[in-house]
Structure 1
Amino acid sequence: MDIQHLRYLTVIWQAGSITQAAKKLYMSQPNLSRAVKEIEQETGFPIFRRTPHGAVPTRKGLLLLNYAQKILSQMDEMESLYKPARGDVLPLQVCVPPAPGFLLGFRECLEKMPQSGPFSVSFLEASGLETISHVSEGAYPIGILRYPQSCREYFENALEDANLAWEPLWEFDMCLIFSTEHPLASQSEVPCRLLNGYTEIICGDFDTPSENRDCRRKIYTNSWESQSYLLHHVPGTYLWGAPLPGVSLSRYGIVWKPCPDKKILCWDILIHPKNLGLAGWEREFLTAMKKYCIFPLS
C-alpha cells in the first residue's frame, strides 16, 4: 500500500461511493474498484461495505481511514516545507501531445486563474516517450499520452518501467484532418486511395499506417501550431488525428473526415507518478479540456 492508495480510500470515503470518487480522481470506475480490491487483499479485511446508498466503511476500515487521513495531512505538511504554496503561485505544469483540444483546454484554464498575484504555469507539447521521461524525472507532475492500439503494449511497458500510474481519458478512431481549403475538404469521407499525391504531416512517436502513402511526401513536426500553419500554407497537406468538436474546427479553420477503409483505434491516457495525486489546477485543466474531446469515457 502506498500514498496514492491512501488518497483513493479517503476520496471514496468523502464521496460516499466508488463511482463518484472515480469522477473526482479522473479514473474509470472499474480501475478504482480494482485498486480497492487489491488494497483489501493486502490488508486482509474489507474496508468498505457496498450498499444501495454507496460505500460505507467497515469498523476496521474506519480505523484505517482515520490513520490514512493523518498520514496524508502529515505528508501535506512535509511537502509545504519544500514546495511553494499551491494557493499562492497557482502551479500548473502539463505535458501533452500536439493537438488543438489540449491547447484550448489549457487556455480556458488560464482564463479562470486570478488576474493578480504570483503565477507559475508550463505547457509543453511532446512525443509520448518525451512525456514519460519528463513525468518520471519530476519535471512535469502530469502528462497525457496518445497512442494507437498497435503501440499499446509498448507504451504500457514503458510506463511500468518508469514506475508511473496511468488512467484512460478517452478512445477514438483516428480520422483525417484538412484545412477548409483542401480539395478533399468537401468529401463526406476520404478513402485512402484519394490521398495519393498529397503530403502527410506526421507527429509523435509513430507513423500512422495509411495505405498507398507516397513516402516522398512527409513533413515531421511536433507542435500543434506548426501543424496548423502547414495545413493552411502548404497546399495539399493533411494529418491523422482525433475527431474534433466544432469549437476546435472553427477556431483553426479545419475539418475532419472519417476514412472508411482504415480504422485505427487510439487512446489518450493521463499519466502521473504513482505516489502523487492531482493538484487543484491540474484537475481544472482536465475539466476544461473535456469539452474539446468528443469521445470521453464514462
Structure 2
Amino acid sequence: MNIQQMRYVIAIANNGSFREAAKKLYISQPSLSHAIKELENEIGLSLFERTNHGAKLTADGKDFLQYSQQVLAQVSLLENRFLSKEQREHHFSIASQHYDFVAEVMSRLIKEFPEYTNFRIFENTTMNVIKDVENFRSEIGVMYFNNRNRRGLLRLLEGGNLTYRVMGDFQTHIFLSEHHPLSRKKAVTVQDLEPFPQVRFTQEDNHYTFFSEDILDFFDAEQVIHTTDRATLVGILHETDAYGSGSGLVKYPERQGIKLIPLENEEDNQLVLIYKNQATFSFLGKKFIAYLEEYLDSMRIVK
C-alpha cells in the first residue's frame, strides 16, 4: 500500500468511474485498474463495485477512503512544511479575510515578479485563514483585531504556534449602494442602520462572535443575509437597501457602485498579519508586507 494508491482511490470515488479518474490523473485506464487491483489483493478487500455505469465504493471502500483522506491530509501538511528550497523560491501564498486591497497588493507582486510560477490567494473565513497559516499552506494571513474578538483570536493563534504584527488602525465603515437612503450622510450611527437589512460573511460557528469578519456582526439586525462571496455581497447591496460593514480600505469604491461611510461612536480596529512564530519571511513575503504598508500609507492608516 502506498500514497499514490490512496490518491487513486480518492480520484475514482470523486469521479465515479475509472475512466474519468484516469483522465484527471493523466494515466491510462488499464494502469489505474491494475494499481487498484494490486491494492485490493494486498489488503484482501474489494474497494469498488464495478458496473456499466461506473464505479461505486463498497462498505470497505468507504472506510478505506475515510482513512486515506486523513493520511493524505497529514502528507499534505508535511509537503507544505518541508518544501524544497527551490520550490519555496517559486511559490507564494497568503490567506485573508475578504479585503479588496489584498488583490491589489498581490497583483503588484505578480506583475513585478513573473519568474515566480505559483501564486495563491486563499480568501476565506476567519478560522480557515488561521488554519491555512498554521498548516504552512500560507506564509502570511490577513485579518483584524478589536476589543470584541482579540482574546478569542489570540487564544487560537497561540494554539497554532502563530504570532501577529499590527499594520495599522482603521475605523469601521458601512458599505451600501449609491442609491441607499443613507448614502448622502457623511457618517452614520447604529441607530441609523436599525431599519435596514445587514449582509454578513458566513463563518464556521455563529455561536462564537470572535470569528466574525463583519465588524457589526454583534449588532442585532432584524434581517440578515449571509454570503461567502464578496461579489455576491456587492450585488445584494446594489439591488437592496441592505448594508455591510468592514474596514473601508478600498481605494475606488465608486468603481463597484458602492459608498463607504464611517460609523460613529465605534472603537478603532487593528489590521494584523499572522504568521508562524519565529518565521523567516521569504523574499516575496517581505515584498508583500512592504507593498501593503505602502497601500495603507496611501489610505492614511495610522500605525
SS in 1 for 2:86: coil
Change (3 A) 1:220 1:152: same
Cross-structure match for 1:278: 281
Instruction: Tell me the distance in 2 between the aligned counterparts of 1:190 and 1:197.
Output: 13
Aligned residue identity for 2:113 = M
Cross-structure match for 2:43: none
Change (3 A) 1:235 1:82: same
Change (3 A) 1:80 1:150: closer
Superposed CA offset, 1:74-128 (max 9, x none): xxxxx998232555x3x220001102122222222222222xx561010011222
Please give the residue correspondences for 1:172-251 in structure 2 after superposition, counting only pairs within 5 Å.
Answer: 172-203=170-201, 205-206=211-212, 208-209=215-216, 213-215=220-222, 217-232=223-238, 234-245=239-250, 247-251=251-255
Per the TM alignment, residue 278 of structure 1 is displaced from its structure 2 partner at its CA by 1.4
SS in 2 for 1:181: coil
Cross-structure match for 2:292: 289
Instruction: Tell me the distance in 1 between the aligned counterparts of 2:126 and 2:218.
Output: 24
Aligned residue identity for 2:188 = V
Query: Is the 8 Å Cα contact of residues 215 and 246 (structure 2) preserved in structure 1?
Result: no
Please give the residue correspondences for 1:117-128 in structure 2 after superposition, counting only pairs within 5 Å.
Answer: 117=115, 119-128=117-126
Per the TM alignment, residue 279 of structure 1 is displaced from its structure 2 partner at its CA by 1.2
**TM-score, reference length from structure 1:** 0.63
Aligned residue identity for 1:273 = K
Change (3 A) 1:160 1:81: closer
Aligned residue identity for 2:96 = V
Per the TM alignment, residue 270 of structure 1 is displaced from its structure 2 partner at its CA by 0.9
Superposed CA offset, 1:40-90 (max 9, x none): xxxxxxxxxxxxxxxxxxxxxxxxxxxxxxxxxxxxxxx998232555x3x
- Aligned identity (percent) is 17
Change (3 A) 1:194 1:285: same
Change (3 A) 1:107 1:118: closer
1:252 maps to which of 252, 256, 260: 256
Cross-structure match for 1:106: 106
SS in 2 for 1:84: helix
Aligned residue identity for 2:256 = Y
Residues 1:137 and 2:142 aligned together: no
Query: Is the 8 Å Cα contact of residues 177 and 256 (structure 1) preserved in structure 2?
Result: yes
Instruction: Tell me the distance in 1 between the aligned counterparts of 2:153 and 2:182.
Output: 33
Aligned residue identity for 2:103 = L
Aligned residue identity for 2:248 = P
Q: Is the radius of gyration larger for structure 1 or structure 2?
A: 2
How many residues are paired up? 212
Instruction: Tell me the distance in 2 between the aligned counterparts of 1:164 and 1:86.
Output: 20
Cross-structure match for 2:67: none
Comparing 206-215 with 101-110, which one deviates more in the overlay?
206-215
Aligned residue identity for 1:111 = K
Instruction: Tell me the distance in 1 between the aligned counterparts of 2:274 and 2:97.
Output: 12
Per the TM alignment, residue 191 of structure 1 is displaced from its structure 2 partner at its CA by 2.0
- Higher relative CO (CA 8 A, sep ≥ 6), structure 1 or 2? 1
Change (3 A) 1:264 1:230: farther
**TM-score, reference length from structure 2:** 0.62
Instruction: Tell me the distance in 1 between the aligned counterparts of 2:120 and 2:194.
Output: 39
Query: Is the 8 Å Cα contact of residues 175 and 259 (structure 1) preserved in structure 2?
Result: yes
Instruction: Tell me the distance in 1 between the aligned counterparts of 2:146 and 2:287.
Output: 27
Cross-structure match for 2:270: 267
Change (3 A) 1:211 1:149: closer
Change (3 A) 1:97 1:210: closer
Superposed CA offset, 1:246-272 (max 9, x none): x33233232211222x40332221111
Per the TM alignment, residue 193 of structure 1 is displaced from its structure 2 partner at its CA by 2.3
Query: Is the 8 Å Cα contact of residues 190 and 257 (structure 1) preserved in structure 2?
Result: yes
Query: Is the 8 Å Cα contact of residues 96 and 143 (structure 2) preserved in structure 1?
Result: yes
SS in 2 for 1:149: coil
Instruction: Tell me the distance in 2 between the aligned counterparts of 1:81 and 1:183.
Output: 53
Aligned residue identity for 1:127 = T
Superposed CA offset, 1:183-241 (max 9, x none): 211111122222233221112522645787433x1122233333223222x31121111
Superposed CA offset, 1:123-174 (max 9, x none): 0112222111111111112111223321111111111111112111112221
Query: Which consecutive unaligned segments of at least 5 residues does structure 1 have?
Result: 1-78
Instruction: Tell me the distance in 2 between the aligned counterparts of 1:270 and 1:212.
Output: 26
